[in-house]
Structure 1
Amino acid sequence: MTVEMQLEESAERARDWSGTVPTAFDARVIGLVLATAALAASVNVPYGGVSMAAVAFAVLTAGGIGVHLLGERKLRRLTHGLVERWTAAGGTVEGVTRTGDGMRTEWIVHTPNGDVTVGGIPLVPMARLSVEWQGVGDTMDADEAAENVDRLAATLYEEIFEIGASAEQTR
């Protein structure tokens, strides 16, 4: 295969995926943040009054939403990094969409070998990344995944694009 043909194929693959991963909103996490903030703020009513409870609720809610946004951003960057490495290695990614219900922080990576679901727990101090393909999933600490994203992407690439492609051919 000539270099020109490889560059054309590479450019063709790049056109499939737009290069972006959409933001994902997790209503469950926001509900948990609001419930925890309300409970914690209610403890302040006997000691500081309603005004102190309102301030505590506002501070805790802002902090919780900030932690959620940072966690979502970390998971989105990891998803982008995985997809970017898969396409650079020669895998075909048709697109990346978020799940439609808004109740989870996860994205669906559409490939010819089947959809890969990437998501996790979007709370920064305890963020977890999960990857699921064909009913088999794995979960790991998001910080650990970020440190080893090249190795993780290579392992998943082999499983999804190489083993998955050979399984499709034998059917």
Structure 2
Amino acid sequence: MQLEQRSRTTEADWSGTIPNAFDGRIVGVVVVLAGLAASLNVPYGGLSLGVAAFVLLLTGGVIGHVLGERQLRRLTDGLVAHWSAAGGTVDGVTRSANGMRTEWTVHTSVGDVTVGGIALVPIARLSVEYQGVGDSVDASDAEANFDTIADELYEEIFEFGASARGR
């Protein structure tokens, strides 16, 4: 009977949406780096080659950011859904930012959990921080071993975290 009540409250607490996290700071860095790299082509290939290199590098960088943001958002959504389905109380998810990292703060009954990383596809990493302790893993590795990672994080945050708080 208690499990049924828990699942009903979990559904009511978690709305099921993760805020979008397209980050202008990362796009700004991509623009600057594309401009610097393209400027190296101007003396050797002329202005037209420099402009073509800038457009190519800028397009690749923006696509890399969009794909990285989608990957981190998908992982965050999966973690929150997994934790909620396992019985953890998730009150909501808000977008946060720290330096060049794209982050979401997951508000839970045992405290806030920060999930995010660098949202640029070739170097995308998933990082999770809870009570000042964090860990990170390559985002593609996190997708490949998602169930194991989600179970371990649930145990560490909701089971161990709740028992440590109760002391």
Distance 1:101 1:147 in 2: 26
Residues 27 and 102, structure 1, Cα contact 8 Å, conserved in 2: no
**AA of the residue aligned to 2:46:** G
Measured after TM superposition, the shift of residue 48 of structure 1 is 2.5
Residues 44 and 53, structure 1, Cα contact 8 Å, conserved in 2: yes
Gaps of 5+ in 1: none
- Residue 103 to residue 127, structure 1, CA distance change in 2 (3 Å): closer
1:72-111 aligned at under 5 Å gives the runs 72-99=69-96, 103-111=100-108
1:103-134 Cα shifts (integer Å, max 9, x gaps): 53110000011100000111112211100000
**2:166 is paired with a residue of what secondary structure?**
helix
The equivalent of 1:7 in structure 2 is 4
Distance 2:139 2:43 in 1: 40
Gaps of 5+ in 2: none
The equivalent of 1:36 in structure 2 is 33
The equivalent of 2:118 in structure 1 is 121
Distance 1:147 1:95 in 2: 26
Residues 25 and 102, structure 1, Cα contact 8 Å, conserved in 2: no
Distance 2:10 2:25 in 1: 35
Distance 1:151 1:66 in 2: 29
**1:50 is paired with a residue of what secondary structure?**
helix
- Residue 101 to residue 127, structure 1, CA distance change in 2 (3 Å): closer
Distance 2:100 2:41 in 1: 30
Measured after TM superposition, the shift of residue 155 of structure 1 is 0.7
**AA of the residue aligned to 2:87:** G
TM-score, normalising length from structure 1? Answer: 0.90
TM-score, normalising length from structure 2? Answer: 0.92
1:139 to 110, 133, 136: 136
RMSD value, Cα: 1.7
The equivalent of 1:51 in structure 2 is 48
Distance 2:19 2:135 in 1: 22
**2:128 is paired with a residue of what secondary structure?**
strand
**2:15 is paired with a residue of what secondary structure?**
coil
Distance 1:164 1:23 in 2: 28
**1:96 is paired with a residue of what secondary structure?**
strand
Distance 1:44 1:156 in 2: 47
- Percent identity between the two aligned chains: 62
